[in-house]
Amino acid sequence: MDLQEAKYKFIQEWGVLGSSWGINRAMAQIHACLLLSPDSKTTDEVMEELKISRGNANMNMRALIDWGLVFKEFKPGERKEYFYAEKDLWTVMKQIAKERRKREIVPIRDVLAEVSEADLDNTAEGKEFKKVTKDIDSIISKFDGLIEMASKSDQNWFLKMLSKLVK
């Protein structure tokens, strides 16, 4: 297997993985493509490498910038914009965690807080509802705390902790 083939395989699989995490295929593939590239790339280069349209490339590149995973760069004497990915994987993980926290944890916790105010009667159903939602909130709040800690910690804190834990 040569580099081109290896790159192709990895990019494809990164796209598949992205899809099962609610990130669209093109976005994940652009991310993989930039991650693997030693230099920053233009929209045209990405379009060419992934065989996608300009609109698609532009849209998802901007989503990646929005997620804090990709940055723009301007080269002197060049009119085109260049893009490069955050390479430190600890930082990448932190960014993704932060972003998902905002999109997923905050909304569900809001709903949990809202329904905890509900005026439930003392039926079996009411009790079960209270118990289950309380349990869920307790777990989610732990993850939330973990993400907050991770966001603030500067080193590879979480990864180092994981290493120790897993041995």
Partner DNA sequence: TTAAACTTTCAAAACTTTTTGAAAATAAAA
Partner DNA sequence: TTTTATTTTCAAAAAGTTTTGAAAGTTTAA
Question: For residue 106, which of 144, 148, 79 has the smallest C-alpha distance?
Answer: 144
Structure tokens at 137: 């909130």
Specify the residue, 40 or 97, whose C-beta has the smaller distance to DNA.
40
Q: For residue 85, which amino acid is it? A: A
- Listed ranges 41-49, 52-60, 73-81, 139-147: which one lies at the site for a second copy (CB under 8 A): 139-147
User: CB–CB of 100/131 below 8 Å?
Assistant: no
**Long-range contact pairs involving 104-110 (C-beta distance under 8 Å, separation at least 24):** 105/140, 105/143, 105/144, 105/147, 108/140, 109/137, 109/140, 109/141, 109/144
Partner from DNA, a second copy, none contacting 155, C-beta within 5 to 8 A by type: none
Out of 73, 102, 143, 151, the only residue in the binding site for a second copy (CB under 8 A) is 143
Contact flag: residue 60 with DNA (CB under 7 A): yes
Structure tokens at 65: 């910038």
- What is the closest distance, in whole angstroms, from the C-beta atom of residue 60 to a second copy in the complex? 17
| Binding footprint of DNA, residue count (CB under 7 A) | 24
Out of 55, 124, 139, 154, the only residue in the binding site for DNA (CB under 7 A) is 55
Residues in contact with DNA by the rule CB under 7 A? 19, 24-27, 42-44, 51-56, 58-62, 77-81
